[in-house]
Amino acid sequence: MKEQRTAWLLVAPALGSILLIAMFPLGWTIWESLHQHDLRMPWLGRPFVGLSNYATVAGDARFWGAIGHTAFFAFASILLELALGLVLALAMNRTFRGRGVVRAAVLLPWAIPTVVAALLSRFMFESPWGVVDVLLTRAGLVDKPVVWLAGAQIAWVPLILADVWKTTPFVALLLLAGLQNIDRELYEAASIDGASAWWQLRRITLPLLKPAIVVALIFRTLDAFRVFDLVYVLTGGGPGTSTEPIALYTFNTLLQNLEFGYGAALSVVVFAATFGLAMVYIRWVGGVAPGEAAAR
Amino acid sequence: MPLDFLYVLRHATSMLRRAAIVGAAALTACASSEPKGYVTVTLAGSALGAEGTVVTTQAARFEQLNPGVHVVIQRTPDDASQRHQLFVQWLNAHVGQPDILQIDVVWTPEFAAAGWILPLTRWHPDVSDLFPGVVAGDRWAGTLYALPWWTDIGMLYWRTDLLQHAPTSMHAMADALRRAHAVGTPRDGLVWQGARYEGLVTVFVEFLGAFGGAIMDDSGRVVVDAPQSIAALTFMRDLLRDGLVPRDAMTWHEEESRFAFQNGDALLMRNWPYAYALMSDTSASKIAGHFAAAPMPGGPGGSPTATLGGQQLAINALSPHPDAAYRLIAYLTAPAQMLERARIAGTLPPRKSLYDQPALDSALPMGVAVARAVLEHATPRPVTPIYSQLSDLLQVQLHRALTGQAEPSRALRVAAAQMNALVDRTHVRELAHGRDSAAAAASR
């Protein structure tokens, strides 16, 4: 009995800090989301409005648009990153001269802060004087410069390319770690049995790489779901709001328009969605590779 | 990573707010320990480059003339929306410093309605020499809350080597653009500020005025979906569709359009007066000496319109030294200081009498005649405490229509519906008759 009390006493500071740092802001945000609170309209006061902010979220076309943009961005960028990352990882996993240099070089984009990477892409895709347009026109691939950032569909191209350029190295690194865990003897045995390289990739590499792929998928999905700085710098969510992801919409509501009540409601919804997604993934990983994911 | 950035931002702002409270407390403590009669007045505003030089020089002179008053110039972000955000957070935290705020012309009603800035009536400022359009924006519910420091005005820059005269109507402008487009030089026709930000609304207001439309009527209803407004936006959309305005311009701010124009790539440019001096610099500009400025064309259905911008000075409602603060404002907005400011920083003074003085003519790069011709058409944006929020809703729909995602009529109907819903929800129309009736309406 006494021992138990000591145990509680010992973990109390840790529990206290978690409560203070994680739970208190979360609780406060949820409480705030039940109020109408607009910093710029003090004459309206801060009335308790129950769930009405959430009702507004449900009927907010810009919110659903933002959810759609986020999902599309996540899907398209992750698909490309996994495919390219796998190719890079397979290449880096071979033994060749200068492998260390290549591995370091591949990681370079990942080391650049996202805001800087986004600015670089903005300069490259700015028409008509951006380097992309200049190269495309010189090569004769297009008659006149493509207007990348002012088209509702085409604006996705620089956004997704910038994300792929920056994040593929990260995916490649995770996959490379997975590749190095695969027993080389399996390949030797397969070769002796006359299995082709393609067969080896499909039947040995990919199945054994699955845990690493899942881990990469989790990291990337959660990151892509919260994408903010890249879009903020590159398109500002435009043209109109056609590339605005949910994090940028929340930012605009909360910090640009200073609508704290409604912004809090948006934040809670985003939190719930990310949390739910993480839960699904964690269960999935647990099912796929017990112990494997924890080791990484 | 994305969320970290947001998190840091959120934290930084809350830390800033706390730092501001502590800082203000410290400053107040200083003030009370100062010798009797010695006060510190803080002015927060943009103090970059030449502007910074002027305000520091003038503040030093003010200190000499007013022994016992110490002036501190507090630099705030140059970007208007960032400064706005910062001010709102400070004022929400009830800090008494800065005493004086440099605010954009469209923020005055917002800050006044919130009770954040002091009415200036107790000092009986003389506004008879100031442009009435500017002063109208400094009043809220009939009371004067700020004094104009300098004026900004939207104007049309045109190439004197390619055109005989400035276009006199919207259709004449489209014809001139079409002729240049047929020849193929310069590369672009008209360039403007088309990115989704306040600049887009200032451009739209000028087209709106030319077609006889308006954003808001006198009773405070949003009427941006009226036929004239739809005609104005359709005209803008058609300029883009026909290649007379480059589609790139829908991502441009002031500087991108200036670069295009000063490189000789555009026939016409809509921009603010600041560009005049920069484009006259032969070392950077290819068109120095080959351009002039004029009012944006008017008609059909309306008249030439120049969106009014500019910076005002107002007093923090919690300032411990409002009298000293007002003395500084009166000094900075006096004719001599405005003239000096025009000479050094190239800003337009909002005083009518100065435009008769030869000193101003030589101080302004564009000359007094052009400035006066444009100022004659000065049109304020809607004077309402929720202007920024209304503008935000409008920006999205304008940008959608001009980038081909929605028909102008549909976009403007959506904008008007959203904007009117906000007007109703926030009871601003009652607020114009005083805080009490708005509070009553809000509690109903």
Please indicate, yes or no, whether residues B205 and B299 belong to a single structural domain of this protein. Answer: yes
Query: What is the mean pLDDT of the segment spanning A144-155?
Result: 90
Query: What is the mean pLDDT of the segment spanning B159-163?
Result: 96
Which pair of structure tokens corresponds to residue B383? 């004077």
Give the confidence band of B235 by pLDDT, cuts at 50, 70, 90.
very high
Query: Does the CB of B113 have a partner CB in chain A at under 8 Å?
Result: yes
Q: What is the pLDDT of residue A43?
A: 83
**Nearest C-alpha neighbor of B299 from the set B241, B223, B244, B235:** B235
The answer to whether position B98 is within a domain reads yes
Count of structural domains within chain B: 2
The answer to whether position B438 is within a domain reads no
CB contact under 8 A, A40 and B10: no
- In chain A, which residues have their Cβ closer than 8 Å to the Cβ of B196? 236-240
Please give, rounded to a whole number of angstroms, the shortest distance from the CA of B102 to a CA of chain A. 17
Q: Is the preceding peptide bond at B2 cis, omega within 30 degrees of 0? A: no
**Nearest C-alpha neighbor of B86 from the set B20, B2, B142:** B20
Please indicate, yes or no, whether residues B284 and B414 belong to a single structural domain of this protein. Answer: yes
Residue B224 has pLDDT above 60, yes or no: yes
Query: Does the CB of B114 have a partner CB in chain A at under 8 Å?
Result: yes
Q: What is the pLDDT of residue A144?
A: 84
pLDDT in tens, A207-238: 999 889 988 988 899 888 889 999 999 999 98
Query: Does the CB of B405 have a partner CB in chain A at under 8 Å?
Result: yes
**Nearest C-alpha neighbor of A125 from the set A250, A243, A246, A226:** A243
Helix orientation angle between B387-402 and B198-210, rounded to the nearest 10 degrees: 80
The model carries a pTM of 0.86
Domain with B108 in it: 2-145+308-376
Q: Is the Cβ–Cβ distance between A261 and A36 less than 8 Å?
A: yes
Please indicate, yes or no, whether residues B186 and B294 belong to a single structural domain of this protein. Answer: yes
Final residue in a domain of this structure, among B361, B376, B391 = B376
Please indicate, yes or no, whether residues B298 and B318 belong to a single structural domain of this protein. Answer: no
Please indicate, yes or no, whether residues B255 and B387 belong to a single structural domain of this protein. Answer: yes
Please indicate, yes or no, whether residues B287 and B312 belong to a single structural domain of this protein. Answer: no
A1-11: b (≥16 Cβ within 10 Å) or e: eeeeeeeeeee
The answer to whether position B220 is within a domain reads yes
Q: Are strands B100-104 and B306-315 parallel, antiparallel or unpaired?
A: antiparallel
Q: Is the Cβ–Cβ distance between A33 and A54 less than 8 Å?
A: yes
Q: Is the Cβ–Cβ distance between A75 and A221 less than 8 Å?
A: no
What is the C-alpha to C-alpha distance for residues A39 and A62, in angstroms, rounded to an integer? 21
Q: Are strands B378-379 and B306-315 parallel, antiparallel or unpaired?
A: parallel
Q: Is the Cβ–Cβ distance between B277 and B429 less than 8 Å?
A: no
Between residues B48 and B148, the one the model is more confident about: B148
Q: What is the pLDDT of residue B442?
A: 57
Please indicate, yes or no, whether residues B261 and B172 belong to a single structural domain of this protein. Answer: yes
Please indicate, yes or no, whether residues B301 and B218 belong to a single structural domain of this protein. Answer: yes
pLDDT in tens, A12-66: 999 999 888 888 999 999 999 999 998 888 888 889 999 999 999 999 999 999 9
| DSSP-assigned states of every residue in B108-156 | HHHHHHTT-B--SGGG----TTB-HHHHHHTEETTEE--EEEEEEE-EE
Please indicate, yes or no, whether residues B291 and B325 belong to a single structural domain of this protein. Answer: no
The answer to whether position B440 is within a domain reads no
Domains along chain A?
61-235+274-295 (1.10.3720.10)
What is the C-alpha to C-alpha distance for residues A87 and A175, in angstroms, rounded to an integer? 10
The answer to whether position B125 is within a domain reads yes
Query: Does the CB of B1 have a partner CB in chain A at under 8 Å?
Result: yes
Residue A1 has pLDDT above 80, yes or no: no
Please indicate, yes or no, whether residues B21 and B60 belong to a single structural domain of this protein. Answer: yes
- Comparing A186-200, B113-127, B183-197, B239-253, the range with the smallest average pLDDT is A186-200
Please indicate, yes or no, whether residues B6 and B118 belong to a single structural domain of this protein. Answer: yes
Q: Is the Cβ–Cβ distance between B361 and B162 less than 8 Å?
A: no
Please indicate, yes or no, whether residues B169 and B119 belong to a single structural domain of this protein. Answer: no
Look up the CATH number of the domain holding residue B20: 3.40.190.10
- In chain A, which residues have their Cβ closer than 8 Å to the Cβ of B253? none
The answer to whether position B277 is within a domain reads yes
